């Protein structure tokens, strides 16, 4: 089985490592920029809008997948004429536009906060009628890690926020005073006989720092079972409507006991990196299984998992790691706000998983052992 991966960052690296363990070979196509897939397969740096580049890439592949959500949909449409692309273009198309995404969530029975499009200043008045303040103004496209968004506290702030975001089409959405941020990560694939399989890993509770994921803990506590099941029903519906094949992550706010869908990523997700050690089958393995039309593995947890990202720099990469913790460094050059690696721990109790993960994090960052994030 030869699989093509669009993108060559750390998600591509971890997907390829899982694929190689299952006897597959990988080939990568990525736009210019730093890559971290050396030794994992042939890499072409090229323009994903160039048909000749795509045709060369597709030659001899059994399937193609992607590791980032801003792949041009035109590239998927082109490749699909030559080789199966999983997930397909619909997951990308909807995930690339925050308005379509929210409308889609609603159609799947997921709750969303009040929102309205702001494509131009003429939309200010209508948007402010539809959305209570305070609110967030976000670019409809190409936002990530908290980029491309501004808080709007007062109606008079809207014009300045719109200008600050470059005057591009935006969404105004109600600010949600959330108690926690939760992600549901699911995988949809097929059995040997072609029947559908959908599996969820236990929910993740996510904490961000400066707009970047800092810590994820799973299973997420503080949510009742009925709330979780209702949200899972909506995600299952989304997977089916998209005919999504592979991993899908939907991020939620937990507020007043309700899960409010915020956005989705049609790919493996940072919050679920801990599944490598914390689940019977990792998100990377199951994604590649779905892409290759192999039966999925169990998503059962092996305990409580805590995961922390190593962002910007790692002071002591050679530090001794506490027992029960696992280090993953991606081989990237240090740079502010760049994700360089992550550390995971698995334990029977949440308090122990978090303590071990924090101890490993502190050691790697050259902080005293008692330093808490």
Nearer to ligand AMP, 175 or 200 (CB): 175
Residue 94 touching ligand AMP (CB under 6 A): no
Residue 49 touching ligand AMP (CB under 6 A): no
Do residues 228 and 165 make contact, with C-beta atoms less than 8 angstroms apart? Answer: no
Size of the site for ligand AMP (CB under 6 A): 14
Residue 113 touching ligand AMP (CB under 6 A): yes
Do residues 299 and 281 make contact, with C-beta atoms less than 8 angstroms apart? Answer: yes
140 cis-preceded (ω within 30 degrees of 0): no
Query: Quick one: which of 173, 277, 350, 358 contacts ligand AMP (CB under 6 A)?
Result: 173
Residue 64 tokens, joined: 């193609």
Residue 211 touching ligand AMP (CB under 6 A): yes
Nearer to ligand AMP, 101 or 358 (CB): 101
d(CA 134, CA 291): 42
Shortest Cβ 235–ligand AMP spacing (Å) = 16
Q: How many CB atoms neighbour CB 157 within 10 A?
A: 17
Nearer to ligand AMP, 136 or 290 (CB): 136
Nearer to ligand AMP, 113 or 270 (CB): 113
Residue 101 touching ligand AMP (CB under 6 A): no
Query: Quick one: which of 67, 101, 123, 263 contacts ligand AMP (CB under 6 A)?
Result: 263
Query: Quick one: which of 101, 181, 277, 285 contacts ligand AMP (CB under 6 A)?
Result: 181
Residues 94-132 as b/e (b if ≥16 CB within 10 A, e otherwise) read: bbbbbbebbebbeebebbbbebbbbeeeebbeebbebbe
With residue 135 as reference, give the H or E element that holds it. Answer: strand 135-139
d(CA 213, CA 128): 30
- Please name the residues in contact with 39: beta carbons below 8 A apart, sequence gap of 6 or more: none
The residues binding ligand AMP (CB under 6 A) are: 113, 136, 143, 146, 173, 175-176, 178, 181, 208, 211, 251, 262-263
């Amino acid at each position: 089985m030869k699989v093509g991966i669009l993108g060559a960052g750390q998600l591509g690296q971890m997907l390829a490592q899982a694929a190689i363990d299952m006897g597959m070979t990988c080939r990568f196509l990525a736009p210019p920029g730093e890559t971290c897939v050396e030794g994992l397969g042939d890499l072409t740096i090229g323009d994903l809008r160039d048909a000749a580049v795509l045709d060369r890439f597709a030659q001899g592949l059994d399937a193609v997948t992607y590791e980032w959500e801003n792949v041009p949909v035109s590239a998927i449409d082109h490749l699909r004429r030559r080789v199966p692309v999983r997930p397909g273009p619909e997951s990308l198309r909807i995930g690339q536009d925050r308005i379509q995404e929210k409308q889609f969530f609603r159609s799947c029975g997921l709750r969303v906060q009040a929102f309205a499009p702001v494509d131009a200043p003429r939309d200010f008045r209508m948007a402010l009628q539809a959305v209570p303040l305070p609110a967030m103004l976000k670019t409809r496209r190409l936002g990530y890690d908290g980029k491309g968004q501004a808080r709007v506290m007062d109606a008079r702030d809207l014009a300045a926020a719109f200008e600050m975001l470059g005057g591009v089409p935006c969404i105004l959405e109600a600010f949600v005073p959330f108690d926690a941020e939760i992600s549901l990560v699911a995988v949809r694939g097929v059995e040997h006989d072609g029947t559908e399989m959908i599996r969820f890993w236990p929910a993740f509770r996510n904490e961000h720092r400066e707009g970047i994921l800092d810590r994820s803990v799973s299973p997420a506590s503080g949510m009742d079972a009925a709330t979780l099941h209702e949200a899972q029903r909506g995600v299952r519906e989304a997977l089916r409507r998209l005919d999504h094949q592979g991993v899908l992550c939907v991020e939620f706010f937990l507020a007043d006991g309700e899960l409010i869908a915020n956005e989705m990523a049609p790919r493996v997700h940072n919050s679920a990196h801990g599944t490598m050690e914390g689940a019977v089958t990792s998100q990377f393995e199951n994604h590649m299984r779905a892409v290759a039309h192999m039966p999925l593995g169990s998503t059962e947890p092996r305990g409580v998992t805590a995961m922390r990202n190593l962002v910007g720099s790692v002071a002591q990469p050679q530090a001794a790691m506490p027992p029960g913790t696992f280090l993953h460094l991606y081989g990237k050059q240090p740079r502010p706000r760049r994700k360089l690696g992550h550390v995971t721990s698995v334990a029977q109790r949440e308090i122990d998983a978090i303590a071990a993960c924090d101890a490993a994090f502190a050691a790697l960052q050259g902080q005293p052992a008692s330093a808490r994030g």
